[in-house]
Structure 1
Amino acid sequence: MDKGNRTTMEFIFVSFSNVPEMQYFLFTSFLCIYCISLAAHMFLIVVYNLSANLHTPMYFFLANFSFLEICYISTITPNMLKNLLSSHKTITFYGCAVQMYCFVLLGSTECYLLTAMAYDRYNAICHPLLYNVIMSRNACVKLIVSSWLIGLMVPTIQTYVTFSLPFCGPNEINHFYCDIPPVVALACTDTQFNEIVTFIIVLLLVVGAFLLTIVSYTRIVCTIIKHHSSAGIKKAFSTSLSHLIVVTIFFGSGCVMYLRPNSTYGTNMDKFISLFYTVIAPLLNPFIYSLRNSDVKVAIRKMMHNIIGQP
């Protein structure tokens, strides 16, 4: 690839499998997951907007989270589905840069939005009397805007240092989207600086947000044990544990992918690890965070009751 003619440069994605039947199976599976994820998140946004009883800080965060998740999975999945059925699995140089920028932007924003949601639950359980004061509408908006601002800074730096590298050798990306490690691995120069930048960003962003989230849930569990009944403890533990499972899948798989040298990247296992935070987590999130919630179930029943028009 010629560094001086980047408008004509292309990257080629390496498929999950070269067996056509397997590609059709994967296409069908990922298409179903994508459609279910989109439908669940869109449904939650509609339910939130049509249900006055859900207009609380918690569901305000969840509605914004659903919007973010729709953007997040739509950055990668449609192109991945196209490539599964295509023999020409390519993306232009600048198309790859745009995909990486959007993916890092939305992933970074999600890290801190999850942290903000954990902080909201911490105040609701640990400071119930001050909750409405601490988590005012203005405070919630500031937390969401801050999450997006942090998200905007990260991809600007990461995408610039990645696509400033010279690419003059192989152009096969051993992945299903333009992720940072496989793209950097194609550069025909020393990439130690890029590895250091990625390590620092992930350490501050992903690990930092994960630790803040864990601290919030730890304080929540301690407060529940100290002040609540056994039934309340069981319910809260169930909710907190399910939230932690999603958080661990998202942050844990991200740490595995980025907190290691690029030289160790390139196996098919890396693709499947990436699936956890790009495909599986967005599918699980609406069911764990919202659709299991009793308030949402009541809101859905009321909404359906109004649509059917029963007296």
Structure 2
Amino acid sequence: MEENPTMVTEFILLGFGLGPRIHRVLFGMFSFFYSFTLLSNGVILGFICLDPRLHTPMYFFLSHLAIVHIAYACNTVPLTLAVNLLKPAKPISFAGCMAQTFLFLTFAHTECLLLVAVSVIMSCRVCISLVATSWTCGSLLALVHVSLILRLPFCGPHEINHFFCEILSVLKLACADTRLNVVIIFAACVFILVGPLCLVLVPYTRILLAILRIQSGAGRRKAFSTCSSHLCVVGLFFGSAIVMYMAPKSSHPEEQQKILSLFYSLFNPMLNPLIYSLRNAEVKGALWRVLCKEILS
């Protein structure tokens, strides 16, 4: 057996199998989404840091969600824009591919745990511990997945049918049995997706039951609007990830996998500030105070 079975030094990202005209449309659309994601999450992060009234456990978690979403976008979208949509060749080094996979999995795992923590009321001391635990667990789980990939030989082909180094697409190119990797991925999904989703749904179920007991129709609609917005974020992220990594392989072809990946790598980070923060009265108040301060100065 060879001492170093990894013969592939770079991969080719196939991206989207569409024509040049569609690629230009996607380039413009993704550029807008990317810019809006960075701007909106950056604004929310700035408001939370600068306004003392937003220094509460909930906004502490939201600030880390904003960091995760900015990191999500920076990890995958620039390469997609500069390489996958503009040039005919889409190479990425083996080391760069593994780094991108590690970072993407770290952010994905961390977001799962943060979405659980943000739905729980707690003290500042506890929320700091939970945030540190979320980042640590997310990084360690990603390290396990990447370590299991690095043990595999890659001797060709070297074309990844995706727009970034998504773990399932990378495993398809291995020249060895990947059943252990698939089992670990499924077990991690149970721990990081199904478990947290159940923990998130418990408090929201109680909230929905409390909303149904509200006598005022206007109050019930207002409360349900806020709750449903949060559930949309949770459902979009967890739903697309569960379908992507836990559904049978034959149930969604490779092109559908790319679309599902867009939901939790691009669309969800863009929608998060609108749903979690910009519709919130406290964040609007912070925005108004900043604007008034600038006008007066």
Q: TM-score, normalised by structure 1?
A: 0.89
Match of 1:273 in 2: 260
53-62 or 105-114: bigger deviation:
53-62
Counterpart selection for 1:154 from 141, 149, 157:
141
Counterpart amino acid of residue 164 in structure 2: Y
Write the deviation string for residues 240-259 of structure 1: whole angstroms up to 9, x where unpaired.
11111111111111111111
* 2:185 alignment partner, one of 198, 204, 219: 198
Query: Which residue of structure 2 aligns with residue 10 of structure 1?
Result: 10
- Distance change in 2, residues 1:264/1:224 (3 Å): closer
Dislocated runs of 4+, deviation >6 Å: none
2:125 is matched with which residue? 138
1:168 matched residue in structure 2: 155
Of stretches 215-224 and 142-151 in structure 1, the one that deviates more from structure 2 is 215-224
Distance 1:260 1:30 in 2: 27
Change (3 A) 1:270 1:30: same
CA distance in 1, matches of 2:129, 2:146: 26
Distance 1:268 1:260 in 2: 15
Alignment of 1:1-311 (within 5 A): 4=4, 6=6, 9-83=9-83, 84-120=85-121, 135-226=122-213, 229-260=216-247, 267-309=254-296
Alignment length (residue pairs): 295
Report if the CA contact (8 A) 2:7-2:153 is conserved. no
CA deviations 1:185-229 (Å, max 9, x no partner) are: 111222211111111011111111111111121122223334675
Secondary structure of the residue that 1:47 maps to in structure 2?
A: helix
C-alpha distance in 2, partners of 1:62/1:168? Answer: 43
Would you say the 8 A contact 1:3–1:168 is kept in 2? no
- Whether the 8 Å contact between 1:101 and 1:155 is mirrored in structure 2 is yes
Matched letter for residue 194 of structure 1: N
Residue ranges of structure 1 left out of the alignment (5+ in a row)? 121-134
State whether residues 185 and 263 of structure 1, in contact with CA within 8 Å, keep that contact through their aligned partners in structure 2: no
Residues in 1 aligned to 2:155 and 2:253: alpha-carbon distance in whole angstroms: 19
46-55 or 295-304, which moves further after superposition?
A: 46-55
> Alpha-carbon deviation of 1:299?
1.2
Once the two structures are superposed, residues 89-143 of structure 1 have per-residue CA deviations (whole angstroms, 9 ceiling, x without a partner) of 01111111100000000100000101111123xxxxxxxxxxxxxx221111111
Across the aligned residues of Structure 1 and Structure 2, the Cα RMSD in angstroms comes to 2.0
Q: Distance in 2 between matches of 1:61 and 1:75?
A: 21
AA of the residue aligned to 2:254:
T
User: Is the Cα contact below 8 Å between 1:11 and 1:171 reproduced in 2?
Assistant: yes
* Secondary structure at 1:119 match in 2: coil
The one-letter amino acid paired with 1:192 is R
Q: 1:28 to 1:51 in 2, by over 3 A?
A: same
Distance, in Å, in 1 between the alignment partners of 2:136 and 2:22 is 41
What SS is found at the alignment partner of 1:167? coil
Contact 1:7 1:92 in 2 (8 A): no
Question: Structure 1 residue 8: deviation in Å?
Answer: 6.2
Secondary structure at the aligned position of 1:85 is classed as coil
The normalised TM-score by structure 2 is 0.93
